[in-house]
């Protein structure tokens, strides 16, 4: 087995296998100084989402739920195809549908973007995270949440330029796409890429995915999409989930995909603040609490404080308006 899987088109093993992703492969770890350098460099991997081939079938959502054993709620129809209406702790990926009339051709284009963690090379979530080891980054590029270490503070949500992580109301921990790190660890691609009926989601080494994207972009240009291009935003150091967009000159038309995502400068300094102020604040409030107890009851603060704080966080993580 090569150090990183090259494709999602294979059948997973049933024999027990050693994980090929371990702490020795970490390149970053939240709220941790002096992480020893990794013993090896894994080949960076990437998921490429070709929006122009996507039919919006939601197989990726389905496969994600089944692989990750999540339990999304049965919601209601609010007049759109996007269901659930936002990412949740039980839905790590979501097809977002936008009906866009191209002003140049006056033709309707149904833009369908699979939303989810971009696995940034420079992950804002990890930088914002005050909990040691709750967010890690492996040398192959995967940014993973280690739920045992998560304190449910929601800083990762604020740190994320793409508004991806969601905090579970049940266990007060943060959840998002893992890039199926458990599959990658045994040489398999993510469940969504395996399932995708049209091959709109492909997975492999980041170099291979960039090459694959070049071919797709050439095809799109030949079909009249002059601005077709690869979305691999430099503001976050590039991403390990990339898009091929027919209109790469305006990412925002795809359900508010940021044109130039970058980590907020506040978050860049935030970590220091959190570390010191946070620790000081905690010291007398909750020392000795069982971790789980704290997590189940996020705060021992006044009700009013809690409500206001909730509002604040809610405001940030509130779903973007659905566009139809």
Partner 1 sequence: MNMELSRRGFLKVAGAGVAGTSLGAMGFGEAEAAVAAHVRPLKLANTTEARNTCPYCSVACGIIIYSKGDIRKKERAEVVHIEGDADHPTNLGTLCPKGAALKDFVSSPTRLQYPMVRKPGSDRFERISWDEALNRIARLMKDDRDANFLAANDAGVPVNRWTTTGFLAASATTNETAWTTFKVVKALGIVGFDNQARV
Partner 2 sequence: MTNSWTDIKNTDLVVVMGGNAAEAHPCGFKWVTEAKAHRGAKLIVVDPRYTRTASVADFYAPIRQGTDIAFLLGVIKYCIDNDKVQWEYTKGFTNASFIVKDGYGYSDGLFTGYDESKRDYDRSSWDYVIGEDGFAVTDPTLQHPRCVWNLLKEHVAAYTPEMVERICGTPKEKFLKVAEMISECSSPTKTMTSMYALGWTQHSHGAQNIRAMAMLQLILGNIGVRGGGMNALRGHSNIQGLTDIGLMSHLLTGYLNMPTEAERDFGTYMSSRVFKPLRPGQTSYWQNYRKFMVSLQKAMWGDAARADNDWAYEYLPKLDVPAYDVLRMFELMHSGKVNGYFCQGFNPVLAFPNRGKITQALSKLKFLVTMDPLETETSRFWENHGVYNEVDTVSIQTEVFQLPTTCFAEDEGSLTNSGRWLQWHWPGATPPGEAKPDTYIMAQIFLRMRELYRKEGGAFPDPILNLTWDYSDPNEPHPAELAKEMNGRALTDLRDPADPSRVIVPAGKQVLNFSQLRDDGSTMCGVWIYSGCYNEAGNNMARRDNRDLDNTGTYLDWSFAWPLNRRTLYNRASADLQGKPWDPSRKLLEWDGTRWTGYDVPDIAPNAKPEEVGPFIMNQEGVSRLFTRGMLRDGPFPSHLEPFESPVPNVFNPKMRGNPVARIFQNDVSQFGNSDEFPFAATSYRLTEHFHYWTKHNRVNASLQPEFFVEISEELAALRGITAGGWVRVWSKRGSVKAKAVVTKRIRPLNCDGRVVHVVGIPLHWGFTGSAKKGFGPNSLTPFVGDANIETPEYKAFLVNIEPTTPPEVVA
324: partner contacted, choices partner 1, partner 2, none (Cβ within 5-8 A by kind): partner 2
Query: Which of partner 1, partner 2, none does residue 10 bind (CB under 5 to 8 Å by kind)?
Result: partner 1
| Closer residue to partner 2, CB minimum distance, 301 or 324 | 324
Footprint (CB under 8 A) of partner 2, residues 46-75: 52-59, 61-62, 65-66, 71-75
Q: CA–CA separation, 130 vs 151, rounded Å?
A: 9
How near is the Cβ of 305 to partner 2 at its closest, in Å? 34
Closest CA to 3 of 40, 46, 39, 42: 42
Query: For 54, phi and psi rounded to 5 degrees?
Result: -75, 135
DSSP state for residue 277 in the 8-state scheme: I
Rounded to a whole number of angstroms, the minimum distance from the CB of residue 207 to partner 1 is 23
CB of 166 to partner 1, least distance (A): 15
Which of the residues 129 through 188 are near partner 2 (CB under 8 A)? none
Parallel/antiparallel/unpaired status of strands 135-138 and 108-115: unpaired
Binder of residue 91, out of partner 1, partner 2, none (CB less than 5 to 8 A by kind): partner 2
Q: Please give the size of the binding site for partner 2, defined by CB under 8 A.
A: 42
Q: How many CB atoms lie within 10 A of CB 284?
A: 7
CB of 247 to partner 1, least distance (A): 26
Q: How far is the CB of 211 from partner 2 (least distance, A)?
A: 14
Question: Could you say which residues in the range 235-274 bind partner 2, by CB under 8 A?
Answer: none
Residue 198 to residue 192: CA distance in whole angstroms? 12
Work out the angle at residue 324's Cα, subtended by the Cα atoms of residues 94 and 258, and round it to the nearest 5 degrees: 55
Nearer to partner 2, 4 or 98 (CB): 98
Shortest distance, position 216 Cβ to partner 2, whole Å = 8
**Residues 6 or more apart whose Cβ sits within 8 Å of residue 119:** 46, 47, 141, 142, 143, 177, 179, 239, 240, 241
The yes or no reply on residue 324 touching partner 2 (CB under 8 A) is: yes
Smallest distance, partner 2 to C-beta of residue 142, A: 25
Pick 214 or 307: Cβ nearer partner 2? 214
Distance CA 35, CA 19 (A): 21
Cβ atoms within 10 Å, residue 294? 17
For partner 2, which residue of 21, 42, 87, 112 counts as binding (CB under 8 A)? 112
- Residue 151 to residues 10, 57, 154, 155, 321: CA-CA distances in angstroms? 36, 35, 8, 10, 28
Q: Which is nearer to partner 1, 97 or 225 (CB)?
A: 97
Residue 264 binds which of partner 2, partner 1, none (CB < 5-8 A, kind-dependent): partner 1
Q: Which of 19, 24, 198, 289 binds partner 2 (CB under 8 A)?
A: 198
Residue from the set 171, 219, 256, 306 that interacts with partner 2 by CB under 8 A? 219
For residues 1 and 54, give the distance between their C-alpha atoms in angstroms, rounded to a whole number: 30
DSSP state of 222: H
Under the rule (CB under 8 A), what is the footprint of partner 2?
52-59, 61-62, 65-66, 71-81, 83-84, 91, 99, 101, 107-110, 112, 197-200, 216, 219, 222-223, 324
């Amino acid at each position: 087995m090569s150090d990183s899987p090259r494709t999602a088109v294979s059948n997973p093993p049933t024999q027990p296998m050693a994980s090929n992703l371990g702490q020795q492969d970490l390149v970053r770890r939240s709220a941790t100084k002096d992480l020893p350098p990794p013993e090896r460099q894994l080949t960076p991997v990437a998921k490429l989402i070709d929006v122009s081939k996507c039919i919006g079938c939601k197989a990726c959502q389905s496969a994600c739920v089944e692989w990750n054993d999540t339990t999304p709620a049965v919601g209601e129809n609010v007049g759109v195809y996007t269901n659930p209406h936002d990412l949740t702790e039980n839905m790590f990926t979501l097809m977002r549908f936008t009906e866009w009339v191209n002003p140049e051709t006056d033709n309707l284009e149904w833009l369908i973007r699979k939303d989810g963690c971009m696995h940034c090379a420079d992950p804002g979530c990890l930088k914002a995270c005050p909990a040691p080891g709750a967010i890690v980054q492996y040398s192959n590029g995967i940014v993973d949440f280690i739920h045992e270490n998560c304190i449910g503070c929601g800083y990762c949500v604020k740190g994320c330029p793409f508004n991806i992580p969601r905090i579970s109301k049940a266990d007060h921990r943060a959840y998002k796409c893992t890039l199926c790190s458990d599959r990658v660890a045994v040489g398999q691609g993510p469940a969504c890429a395996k399932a995708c009926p049209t091959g709109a989601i492909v997975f492999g080494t980041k170099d291979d995915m960039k090459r694959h994207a070049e071919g797709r972009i050439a095809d799109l240009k030949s079909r009249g999409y002059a601005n077709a291009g690869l979305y691999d935003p430099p503001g976050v150091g590039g991403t390990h989930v990339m898009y091929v967009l027919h209109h790469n000159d305006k990412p925002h038309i795809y359900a508010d995909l940021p044109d130039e995502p970058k980590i907020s400068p506040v978050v860049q300094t935030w970590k220091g603040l959190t570390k010191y102020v946070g620790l000081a604040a905690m010291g007398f409030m909750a020392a000795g609490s069982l971790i789980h107890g704290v997590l189940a009851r996020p705060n021992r603060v006044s009700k009013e404080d809690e409500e206001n704080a909730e509002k604040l966080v809610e405001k940030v993580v509130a779903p973007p308006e659905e566009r139809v």
